[in-house]
Structure formats: C-alpha cells, structure tokens
C-alpha cells in the first residue's frame, strides 16, 4: 500500500472461504441436500444469494417464502451435517491463515471472527483449526443478528473486543461481506478464494489476495500502524 499507514486495532475474519477453504463443500452439501429432499437447486445462483447470510435467511431463500424457526432449524441442521461430513474428511485452512493470525497478534492486533455460520459449524471449524492464540471473540449467525450485507455481525465482533470500527480490518471472501464491512465503516481485505478481486472491490478494500501467504510475502502487517 502507498501513503500513510492505516491505524488499526483489530482484524475481524469471516470464517467460511476466508479462514477455511470450505465454500466448495457448502455447495456440494446443498446439492446433496436437494437430492435427498427432491429439490432442484440452481447452486451458482443460490450461493450468490446466500453466501454471508444466516441460516434462517438461507432457508427462506431456499423455500422461496418465510419459513418458521422450526422449519429453518430442520433444514439447516440437515444441510450443515452433510457439509461437516463432506468437509471433515478434507478439512483445510486457506493457505497461511493460522500463521498470519498468530503473527497479527504478535504485532499487537486483536483478532475476532464474524461469521454467518452457526455454533455447530464454528465449533467444527475451531476444533480443526486449533488456533494459537484463539480469537478474542466469535460472533455467529445464530445469535439473532441480521446476516451480511448488514454490518451487525462485524460491529458486534468489534464491540466485544473493544475495538473502534474504523480501526478494524475485515477479511472477507464474498461480496455481501465486503459490503457489510463498508456499511460498518471498516477497512477490508478481499480473500479471493471464491470471487475475483473485481467482484470484491471497493474504496475501503486495501488489499486483494488469493491467500495469507501472499499477505505475508508482501509484509502486509508491517503496513498497518497497530494501536492499542
């Protein structure tokens, strides 16, 4: 980056597609859910409409109507169990993530997670990642906050760790998440695992990379002015 350093207190990470390379398995899980339930799902369209949104919002989109909480819970429990079974056998982080997050803490930055994923997927992810140190806060999509592109999940993550939104950098792989960061007054880094840099562009996006090794190799953390 050119010019003065950005004063940053915290990094807030989306989870799926950003910390872990899971989005292809979410898509496969929806295909399998549809097969088991006699539904034909236009997967590319559905993923564009739902990535970053909460389970309830995904269920409503799937059914094309407002569903009950009970119906939403049943749909998402089935689909997410399929996802965890599929991805669990091939679990992997986005390259370099854990090393990058650990280095960020060493640079004096706070770390949090803001995801539309539910508590079961969060537990699944964190038990497999074994981050050291662990994030200071994790906000999930089943806590009652509206999903992205609304900024509520990211703003709550910042609140829980005592960080000023304008001094947070959000890491995101989806357009709804990039937009949520903008609406929350936060900077963003586009992690291009599922979308191109042009699809994740914005005036608040300070970098676009394929993985965290690229950030490490560009000395990204040194371009930030970490403030306590």
pLDDT per residue as tens digits for the range 91-104: 999 999 999 999 99
- pLDDT of 133 strictly over 90: yes
| Alpha helical stretches, state H, 12-118 | 23-37, 43-50, 55-63, 69-88, 97-106
pLDDT at 195: 95
% of the chain at pLDDT higher than 90:
95
213 is written with which tokens?
A: 């090794």
pLDDT at 2: 44
Q: Are 91 and 128 in contact (CB under 8 A)?
A: yes
118 is written with which tokens?
A: 């539910």
- pLDDT of 75 strictly over 80: yes
- Give pLDDT tens digits for 138-179: 999 999 999 999 999 999 999 999 999 999 999 999 999 999
% of the chain at pLDDT higher than 70:
98
pLDDT at 20: 98
Mean pLDDT of all residues in 107-132 = 97
Mean pLDDT of all residues in 9-38 = 97
Q: Are 79 and 91 in contact (CB under 8 A)?
A: no
Average pLDDT, the chain: 95
- pLDDT of 82 strictly over 90: yes
CA 5 to each of CA 2, 25, 223: distance values in angstroms, whole numbers, following the listed order: 8, 37, 6
pLDDT at 4: 58
Q: Are 170 and 154 in contact (CB under 8 A)?
A: yes
Q: Binning pLDDT at 50, 70 and 90, where does residue 1 land?
A: very low
For residues 105-120, one letter each, b for 16 or more C-beta atoms within 10 angstroms of the residue's C-beta and e for the rest, the string is beeebbbbbbbbbbeb
pLDDT at 41: 95
Mean pLDDT of all residues in 47-70 = 94
For residues 33-62, one letter each, b for 16 or more C-beta atoms within 10 angstroms of the residue's C-beta and e for the rest, the string is bbeeeeeebeeeebbeebbbbbbbbbbbeb
- Give pLDDT tens digits for 168-212: 999 999 999 999 999 999 999 999 999 999 999 999 999 999 999
- pLDDT of 228 strictly over 50: yes
Decide: helix, strand or coil at residue 172: strand
* Beta strand 110-114 pairing with 205-209: unpaired
Q: Binning pLDDT at 50, 70 and 90, where does residue 227 land?
A: confident
| CA pair distance 62, 60, nearest whole angstrom | 5
């Amino acid at each position: 980056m050119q010019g003065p350093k950005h004063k940053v207190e915290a990094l807030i990470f989306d989870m799926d597609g950003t910390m872990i390379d899971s989005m292809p398995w979410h898509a496969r899980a929806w295909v399998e859910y549809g097969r088991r339930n006699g539904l034909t799902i236009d997967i590319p369209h559905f993923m564009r409409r739902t990535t970053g949104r909460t389970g309830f919002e995904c269920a409503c989109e799937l059914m094309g109507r407002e569903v009950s909480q009970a119906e939403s819970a049943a749909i998402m429990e089935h689909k997410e169990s399929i996802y965890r079974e599929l991805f669990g056998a091939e679990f992997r982080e986005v390259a370099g993530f854990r090393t990058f997050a650990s280095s960020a803490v060493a640079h004096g930055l706070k770390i949090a997670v803001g995801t539309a994923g539910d508590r079961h997927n969060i537990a699944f992810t964190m038990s497999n990642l074994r981050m050291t140190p662990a994030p200071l806060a994790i906000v999930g999509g089943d806590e009652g906050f509206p999903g992205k592109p609304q900024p509520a999940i990211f703003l709550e993550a910042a609140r829980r760790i005592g960080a000023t939104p304008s001094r947070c950098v959000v890491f995101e792989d989806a357009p709804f998440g990039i937009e949520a960061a903008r609406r929350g007054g936060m900077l963003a880094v586009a992690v291009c695992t599922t979308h191109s840099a042009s699809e994740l562009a914005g005036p608040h996006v300070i970098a676009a990379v394929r993985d965290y090794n690229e950030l490490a190799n560009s000395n990204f953390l040194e371009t930030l002015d970490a403030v306590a």
